[in-house]
Amino acid sequence: MSIFVTRDTRLVVQGITGRDGSFHAKQMMEYGTRVAAGVTPGKGGQRFEGKVPIYDTVADAVRETGANTSVIYVPARFAPDAIFEAADAGLKLIVCITEGVPVLDMTRVLPFVREKGARLIGPNCPGAISPGRAKVGIIPGSICKQGSVGVVSRSGTLTYEIIHHLTHADMGQSTCVGIGGDPLIGTNFIDCLAAFEEDSGTRAVVIIGEIGGTDEQDAATFVKEKMKKPVVGFIAGQTAPPGRRMGHAGAIISGSSGTAAEKMAAFEAAGISVMKRPADVVPLLKKRL
Amino acid sequence: MSIFVTRDTRLVVQGITGRDGSFHAKQMMEYGTRVAAGVTPGKGGQRFEGKVPIYDTVADAVRETGANTSVIYVPARFAPDAIFEAADAGLKLIVCITEGVPVLDMTRVLPFVREKGARLIGPNCPGAISPGRAKVGIIPGSICKQGSVGVVSRSGTLTYEIIHHLTHADMGQSTCVGIGGDPLIGTNFIDCLAAFEEDSGTRAVVIIGEIGGTDEQDAATFVKEKMKKPVVGFIAGQTAPPGRRMGHAGAIISGSSGTAAEKMAAFEAAGISVMKRPADVVPLLKKRL
Amino acid sequence: MNLHEYQARHILKTAGIPVPDGDVASSPAEVEAIARRLGKGVVVKAQVHTGGRGKAGGVKLAKDPAEAQSVAGRILGMQIKGLTVHKVLVAPAADIASESYAGIIVDRSSQRPVVMVSPAGGVDIEEVVAKTPEKIFRHAIDPRFGLLPHQAMGLALKLYPGVEQARKAADILQRLYQVMLSTGASLVEINPLITTLDGGVEALDAKIVVDDNELDRRPEIAALRDASDEADSERRAREANLTFIKLEGDVACCVNGAGLAMATMDLVKFYGGQPANFLDIGGSSNPQKVVDALSIITADPNVKSILFNIFGGITRCDDVANGIVTATKQLKFSLPIVIRLTGTNEKEAMEILTANGFNAGTDMDEAVKQAVALAKQAA
Amino acid sequence: MNLHEYQARHILKTAGIPVPDGDVASSPAEVEAIARRLGKGVVVKAQVHTGGRGKAGGVKLAKDPAEAQSVAGRILGMQIKGLTVHKVLVAPAADIASESYAGIIVDRSSQRPVVMVSPAGGVDIEEVVAKTPEKIFRHAIDPRFGLLPHQAMGLALKLYPGVEQARKAADILQRLYQVMLSTGASLVEINPLITTLDGGVEALDAKIVVDDNELDRRPEIAALRDASDEADSERRAREANLTFIKLEGDVACCVNGAGLAMATMDLVKFYGGQPANFLDIGGSSNPQKVVDALSIITADPNVKSILFNIFGGITRCDDVANGIVTATKQLKFSLPIVIRLTGTNEKEAMEILTANGFNAGTDMDEAVKQAVALAKQAA
C-alpha cells in the first residue's frame, strides 16, 4: 500500500531537541507517525513534549523502544556520524534530512550503510510520506492525499508543487519520496521505481528529475526494461547554464553531459510521458491511467 | 586427496627475482609445482630460468596465465600490498611466507582478502605442501611422503620435525599446512581442520600448536563438536616464561592466559591425543588409526 | 570553490608532490624580481578561474626578467571571459619530455573517488574522454582501504613503461588522493603531469575544486577564496547565505528550493521570457533573506520584472510577505513585482500583502505569465 | 618494544590528549629544578619497564622541591625486579576526582584493534577483567572505518554519565586510536584516565607497546628504545638479529625456528633438565650467527652444557657446522657441546664436524638426553 514508510514505521528522531528536529518531530507526531524515541546525547532520560523518551544514543533508543527507522535533523558536521550511528544500531531505514554533508564523507558512509543492510534516503532530502499512514521528514502532510500515485523526486518544493497539482485533481499518492539533491545519495530513482513497481498500492509513478549526473537516464532504462506501470516525468533545469551548481550540489551540468534535454529525450525514448510544466502532471497521468 | 594445494594449483610467485623468491621458485618447480608466472615490477617481459614469464603486476600475470594461487616472498614492507594486489587480481589462494608484517597492517589486509573471497595462508608461515602433487612455500619436499595424514601447524621447523617422524614411520601426508606464527593470520586451525575433515584423502590429522592466544582452545572445541577423524596434537612452549615473546610474534603468554598447560588440557578434553614430545606422534597416531 | 593554480601548486608541493619552482605576483615589478631569482626563461600565467587562458593570451613565455616584466604588464589587468587578472604565476619554462594527465574526481555512479590518468595530457581531458576514450585509464578508489600502492602503480604503468618513472607517478597519485582528502576536494587534477628531460616527474599545472560543504570545517581552505574573482552579486548572495547565479534575461526569480527555482526559470522561458537569475532563498524563512535577495536582484540593470514563487513548507509564506513589504520600503525601487505564494501560512501572507497594496496569487503558471508580460512591457 | 611512561606521555600530549605537566630527569638536582618549576607538590616515578613500581617503592610523593630531590635520590639507582632505575618522571601531584581505564589492544580473535574502557581504573586491568568483567566495556574497531565518533561516545558514556566529560573522553579515545596507528603500537593504554576536581579529563599514566615489526619503517619510534633497560645478553642478541630470552636453567639451547626452540626447551625439561635460554638463530644460515649465538650463551655462568638442535630447511646444516667450528676456535670455552643436525646438507655438516673432532647425531631425543646428562655431571 506504500513503500519504505508504512503503518509499521516506528521512528527514532536524531537531533529531536534541536530547532529543526523538534519542529518536525511535532509535525510528524501530529500527522500520526509513531515517533518512538528521540536521541540527543546528554539529554537521555528526558521526554520530548512530555511523551517521547529521549536517549543518549541510537543504540539505547533501539534497544528500549524497538524503533526500526531513523530520521536525522542534526547539523551537517554531525550528520555523517549520525548515519553511521543509526546503521550501527541496526536500523534498516535511515532518512537524512540534513543538507551540506561533504561528499567525501558520503563515500565512506554509503558502503557502511550497505554492509549493515540498511537503506539510506538522502542526505539533503525532504524524506518520505505515505499519506494517511505516516510521514518521515518534512514534506507537508497537508498537501498530500492518500491514493495510488507514487512520487519520486530529487527536489523538495518542486515536489510539493507537483503533489499539490495531484491532490487538487483528486489523484492521491501511495508514497512520495524525496531522494535528495546531492551527488551521492543512499537511495536512487531505480530503488524507488522498483519498490513502486512491486507495491500493490501504486498504480502509476511520477518521477521528478533535474540536471546533473545520469540518474534519470539510468531510471529511463529501468522503466523501459523492468516496469509495467505507467510513468510520467519532469526535468528541472532546461534553462540552467553549464558549469554552475544550481543550488543542489548535484545539479550541475558538466561539459555537455547532464543536460535537461538529454534527460527528457531519455525519458521519451523509455516511454515516460514528459511534462513541459509542473501543471502537466495531471493531464499526462490521466492519459496513462 | 589434499587441501588448498592440489594438482590444479597454477602458481604466481610474487617477488620471483628476489633472493628468497628465486631460490624457492626453483625448489617448487623442481618439486613439480606448476609455476605459471612470476611478478616483479619493472621486470615484466623477462623470463625466470628461461621458462617462467615475469609480469609487472599480478593482474597481468593472472590475465595472461590463468594462475589461481599466489605465493609471496617480498620484503616485509611490501608484503601487505602484495597481499592486497593478489586479492585484487582475483586469486583465491594467497600464501604469504614473508615474516615481519606489522599487525596493524594485517587488520586492514584481512577484511580486504575476505571481501574478495580469497583465502590467505600466513603471513610468516612456511606455506603448504601436498606431497607428490605440489608445494607452495618453503617446506622441504624431501622430508615429506604422500599419504593420508593431514598436518597443520603454527610453526616451521617443528613441523618438519614431526613430518620427519611421520615419513620415517611410513605414514605419508595428504597436505601439510603451516598457518604461521603471527597473532593475526588469514587461515586458522579450524579452517584447516574443517578442510581435512571434508577431504577424502585425509584419514587423521596432526595439529601442532604453541603458547599464546586461544586458537588451540577454539580448535579443540571444533574437534569435539564437528570432527569424526582422529586428531593428535602437540603444544610447544611448556617451559616458556609469561610475558615474553618467544620468537613468533604470536607466541606470548599474557597474564595467565595462553599457556601450554591450558591448551593441552583443552586438547585432552576434546579427545585429541596429546604428545609429550614430537616423537610421540607416531605411536599416538597408530593407536588412533 | 575553485582554487587558483598557484594555491593548488602550493598545496601539492606541501604534500610532497614535485612541483617546479615559481611564485605568484600581482605587479610587473614583482614578476621581474621572481624571474631574476629563477634565473632562466620563465612562463607568466594569469590566475583566473576559467579555462582557455592560453588562447586568451593569459599565458606567455619570457626569455629574461625584463621580458617577463613587460609580458606581465600586458597580462595583469586583462579581462579573460569577463574576469579581471589580478595575479600571475611566474614559473621556470619547463624542459618537457612528455605530458600526461592525472586527476581524481568524486564519481556519482560508482559513488567513489575515481582516479583517471591518460598519456594524452596537456589538453582538455573531456576532449580526450570524448574522442579517444581508449587513452583514459580509471580506478575507483575504495575509500575504506584508500588508494593502495599496487593500484597506483597499475595506473602509473599505463603512463610510463619505465618502472622508475612509474614509481614516481604512483607516489604522486597516492599523494594526490591525500590532497583530495585533506583539502575536502571534489576534484584534484594535474594537467599536465610532465616528465622532464632528466627523468623527473612533475606537476606542471594543478587544479583543485573544493566541495563547498567542506569549507565550514576547513577554515584554512576557506581562507583561500579569492572574492575578487566572483561577480559582485554572487559574492553578496554568498555572504547572505543565498544561492544566486546571474543570467542574461530580464525576469528576476526569487524562489524557495533549488528544484522549484529551476522549474520557475524554465517556465519563464516556456512562456516566452528570459530569466535574469537563479535564486534559492532556502528553507528557513527569515524575512531578512528576502530583503537581501531583493537588494541583489534590483542591482541588476537588466531586470524588468520580479517574480516571487514560494511554496511554503518549512518556509512560512507570511515571513516571505513580511520580507517583501520591508524590502520594498527600504530599497525604493520601481520594478513591478509578481507574487505567487501557497502552502504554510498562505492566508496570513495574503492578508499582509493586501494590506500593503500588493497583489498575490496562488497559481505558478499565472504568476509566471504575468511576470513575463510585465518585463516585455517595460522593454 | 615498550616505551617509557615519560615517552608515552609525550606522544599522547603531541596527539592532543590532555596530560598533566611534568618532565623526565636522571639526577636529583634535575628533579629539584623540575619540582621548583612545577611549583607545587609533585610525584616522582621510576621509569622502568615493569609493573608494580609503586609497591617496590619506585613512586613517591613530595610536598616541595627539597623533598622531591631527596626522594629522587632514593629512587634513582634502585633496582626494581632486576632493572636499575636510570630516570624518573616528575609530575604535579594530581587533584583526582575519579580514576578510569582506557586502552586499545590488537585483539587476536576479532582480528581488530579493540578499545577497552572501565570505570575501575588505576589498578591492574587484567585483575578487573578476571574479577569484575561487568566493569569492562569493549568495542572492536573496524579499521576500514576507524573509531567513529558515536562509537567513542558510546564507550565514554560508560565512564561518565555527564555529557561534557563523556565528550572529552570520547575525543581522547579517538586520539588514542590515532596514536596507536601513528606509532605502530600493539597496545596503547591510559591507566588511570582521571577526572580532575575542575571537571577536566586527563591521562595520568600512559603505556605504549610498539609492534617490533613496525620499527623498520618508524625510525623516530625505534630511536626511543632504552637499551639500558635490557639485559645485556638480550641487547647483544637483538643487535645480532637473534631471538634470545634468558632463563634460569643450565642447558643452553641453540635452535633454528621458534616452535622447535620451544619444543627443545620443553624436551630438556621432559628429560629432567632445565633450559638456560630460548634462542632462535632464524631461517638464514650465516655462520656468523652461530658465532654470535655461542658468544652470548657462553657469557652466562649458569650454563653447563650446550645443545644444538638444527632441522635444516632453509637453514643449511653445513653452515651451522662451520659456525660451530669457527666459534669454538674463536671463543675458547670449555663447555660440552651436543649437536643434533638433520635435513638440508646434513651429510656435509657431519663431515665438517667429524673432521674437527665433534660428535653429532640426527635424533633430537638422544641429543637432549645427552645434553641434560652432561649438565648434571658438571653441576
Alpha carbon separation from D142 to A92, B103, B116, D175, D331 (Å, rounded): 20, 14, 17, 16, 53
- Cell 617422524, located at residue: B165
pLDDT above 70 coverage of chain A, percent: 99
Residue D313 sits in a domain whose CATH number is 3.40.50.261
C191 close to C103: Cβ distance less than 8 angstroms: yes
Asked if C111 and C78 sit in the same domain, the reply is no
Asked if C241 and C351 sit in the same domain, the reply is yes
Pairwise CB contact (< 8 Å): C145 & B82? no
pLDDT band at D187 (very low <50, low <70, confident <90, very high): very high
Q: Is residue D257's pLDDT more than 80?
A: yes
C-contacting residues of A 132-161, CB under 8 Å? 138-140, 143, 153-161
Query: Does residue A164 have an active-site annotation?
Result: no
B208: closest CA among D266, D340, D282?
A: D266
Chain C contacts of D145, Cβ < 8 Å? 144
C23 Cα distance to chain centroid: 23
Please give the Cα distance from C371 to C272 (Å, whole number): 11
Q: Which residue from D154, D166, D167 is facing A59, i.e. has the nearest CB?
A: D154
- What secondary structure does DSSP assign to D112-174, as a single string? EEEEEEESS-SS-HHHHHHH-GGG-EEEE-BTTTBS-HHHHHHHHHHH-SSHHHHHHHHHHHH
Label residue A271 left, alpha or beta by phi (over 0 means left) and psi (-120 to 50 means alpha): left
In a domain? residue C107: yes
Chain D contacts of A59, Cβ < 8 Å? 154
Lowest mean pLDDT among B1-5, B114-118, C154-158, D365-369: B1-5
| Per-residue pLDDT reduced to its tens digit, A179-206 | 999 999 999 999 999 999 999 999 999 9
Please give the Cα distance from B237 to B253 (Å, whole number): 9
B124 close to B178: Cβ distance less than 8 angstroms: no
Distance from CA of D6 to the nearest CA of A (A): 34
D146: closest CA among B145, A200, A81?
A: A81
Q: Is residue A232's pLDDT more than 90?
A: yes
Pairwise CB contact (< 8 Å): D163 & A59? no
Asked if D215 and D242 sit in the same domain, the reply is no
Alpha carbon separation from B145 to B133, B155, B160, B170, B175 (Å, rounded): 10, 19, 12, 8, 10
Q: Is residue D285's pLDDT more than 70?
A: no
Pairwise CB contact (< 8 Å): B88 & C150? yes
Q: Which residue from C181, C217, C245 is facing A244, i.e. has the nearest CB?
A: C245
In a domain? residue C330: yes
- Do the first three CATH levels of A10-121 and A139-288 match, i.e. the same topology? yes
- Cell 511576470, located at residue: C371
Q: Is residue D283's pLDDT more than 80?
A: no
C315: closest CA among C287, C339, C293?
A: C287
Domain covering B10-121 in this structure, CATH number = 3.40.50.720
* Burial class of residue D232 (count of CB atoms within 10 Å of its CB; 0-12, 13-18, 19+): exposed
Chain B residue with Cα closest to D311 = B157
| Per-residue pLDDT reduced to its tens digit, C303-354 | 999 999 999 887 889 999 999 999 888 888 889 999 999 988 899 999 999 9
Q: Which residue from D149, D157, D167 is facing A81, i.e. has the nearest CB?
A: D149
Chain D residue with Cα closest to C142 = D144
E-only strand ranges, chain B: 10-14, 34-39, 47-48, 52-55, 69-72, 93-96, 119-121, 127-130, 134-137, 146-153, 173-178, 204-210, 231-236, 273-274
The CATH architecture of the domain made up of A139-288 is 3-Layer(aba) Sandwich (3.40)
pLDDT band at C122 (very low <50, low <70, confident <90, very high): confident
| Per-residue pLDDT reduced to its tens digit, D41-66 | 999 999 988 877 888 889 999 999 99
Lowest mean pLDDT among A89-93, C94-98, C112-116: C94-98
Sign of CA pseudo-dihedral C124, C130, C134, C139: positive
Residue C162 is part of which domain span? 96-222
- DSSP type of residue D362: S
What average pLDDT does the segment D247-262 reach?
95
pLDDT given at position B85: 98
Asked if C210 and C300 sit in the same domain, the reply is no
Please give the Cα distance from D160 to D153 (Å, whole number): 10
pLDDT above 70 coverage of chain D, percent: 99
Q: Is residue A16's pLDDT more than 90?
A: yes
Pairwise CB contact (< 8 Å): B84 & C150? yes
Q: Which residue from B107, B250, B278 is facing D143, i.e. has the nearest CB?
A: B107
Asked if C272 and C351 sit in the same domain, the reply is yes
Asked if D236 and D346 sit in the same domain, the reply is yes
Domain boundary among C58, C92, C126: C92
Asked if D73 and D100 sit in the same domain, the reply is no
Domain boundary among D41, D64, D92: D92
pLDDT band at A136 (very low <50, low <70, confident <90, very high): very high
Q: Which helix (H) or strand (E) holds C229?
A: none
DSSP β-bridge partners for residue A55: A39
pLDDT given at position D284: 64
**Between β-strands D59-62 and C277-280, what pairing exists: parallel, antiparallel or unpaired?**
unpaired
Alpha carbon separation from A191 to A97, A123, A177, A218, C349 (Å, rounded): 18, 15, 11, 11, 39
Give the list of residues 6+ apart from residue D356 with CB closer than 8 angstroms, or none: D325
- What secondary structure does DSSP assign to D53-70, as a single string? TTTTT-EEEESSHHHHHH
Chain D residue with Cα closest to C144 = D144
pLDDT given at position C287: 79
Asked if C274 and C193 sit in the same domain, the reply is no
Asked if C272 and C311 sit in the same domain, the reply is yes
Overall number of domains in chain C: 3
Pairwise CB contact (< 8 Å): D261 & B246? yes
Note the helical H segments in D206-286.
Answer: 219-222, 232-239, 258-270
| Per-residue pLDDT reduced to its tens digit, D222-239 | 999 987 777 788 888 888
Q: Is residue A78's pLDDT more than 70?
A: yes
Please give the Cα distance from B248 to A156 (Å, whole number): 60
CB atoms < 10 A from the CB of C220, how many? 8
Domain boundary among C92, C118, C142: C92
* Burial class of residue D20 (count of CB atoms within 10 Å of its CB; 0-12, 13-18, 19+): buried
Alpha carbon separation from B275 to A30, B239, B241, B268 (Å, rounded): 73, 15, 21, 10
Asked if C28 and C101 sit in the same domain, the reply is no
pLDDT given at position B261: 95
In a domain? residue C203: yes
**Mean pLDDT across chain A:** 95
Give residue limits of the domains in chain B: 10-121, 139-288
* Burial class of residue D359 (count of CB atoms within 10 Å of its CB; 0-12, 13-18, 19+): exposed
Lowest mean pLDDT among C91-95, C147-151, C177-181, D135-139: C91-95
In a domain? residue D62: yes
> Chains C, D: CB contacts under 8 A, how many?
3
Q: Is residue A255's pLDDT more than 90?
A: no
Chains touching C, CB cut-off 8 Å, 3+ pairs: A, B, D
C-contacting residues of D 136-155, CB under 8 Å? 144-145
- Per-residue buried b or exposed e for B66-86, using 16+ beta carbons within 10 Å of the residue's own CB: ebbbbbbbbebebbbbbbbbb
Q: Is residue C285's pLDDT more than 70?
A: no
Please give the Cα distance from A177 to A130 (Å, whole number): 9
In a domain? residue C128: yes
A201: closest CA among A168, A167, A172?
A: A172
The four Cα atoms B41, B43, B49, B51 give a dihedral, to 10 degrees, of 90
Chain D residue with Cα closest to B76 = D213
- Residue D264 has φ and ψ, to the nearest 5°, of -70, -45
What average pLDDT does the segment D22-50 reach?
93
D261 close to B247: Cβ distance less than 8 angstroms: yes
pLDDT given at position D215: 95
pLDDT, averaged per 10 consecutive residues of chain B (289 residues), comes to 94 95 95 97 95 97 97 96 98 96 98 98 96 96 96 96 97 98 96 98 97 95 98 96 83 80 97 97 96
**Mean pLDDT across chain D:** 93
pLDDT band at C282 (very low <50, low <70, confident <90, very high): confident
B36 three-class SS: strand
Alpha carbon separation from D197 to A83, B262, D6, D94, D202 (Å, rounded): 35, 45, 24, 9, 11
Q: Which residue, among C139, C141, C148, C150, would best test binding to B if mutated, counting the most B CBs under 10 Å from its CB?
A: C150
pLDDT given at position A215: 94
Alpha carbon separation from A208 to A35, A236, A270 (Å, rounded): 29, 8, 15
Amino acid D302 reads N
| Long-range contacts, stretch D61-70, CB < 8 angstroms, 24+ apart | D61/D93, D62/D35, D64/D35, D65/D32, D65/D33, D65/D35, D65/D36, D66/D32, D68/D31, D68/D32, D68/D34, D68/D35, D68/D42, D68/D44, D69/D28, D69/D29, D69/D31, D69/D32, D69/D35, D70/D28
CB atoms < 10 A from the CB of D133, how many? 9
Please give the Cα distance from B72 to B100 (Å, whole number): 13
Residue D145 sits in a domain whose CATH number is 3.30.470.20
B112 close to B86: Cβ distance less than 8 angstroms: no
Asked if C195 and C248 sit in the same domain, the reply is no
pLDDT given at position C226: 84
In a domain? residue C269: yes
The pTM for the full model equals: 0.94
Please give the Cα distance from B286 to B232 (Å, whole number): 10
* Residues of C belonging to the active site: 101, 189
Asked if C88 and C122 sit in the same domain, the reply is no
Residue C56 sits in a domain whose CATH number is 3.30.1490.20
C350 Cα distance to chain centroid: 38
pLDDT given at position D309: 97
Q: Is residue D365's pLDDT more than 80?
A: yes
C122 close to C103: Cβ distance less than 8 angstroms: no
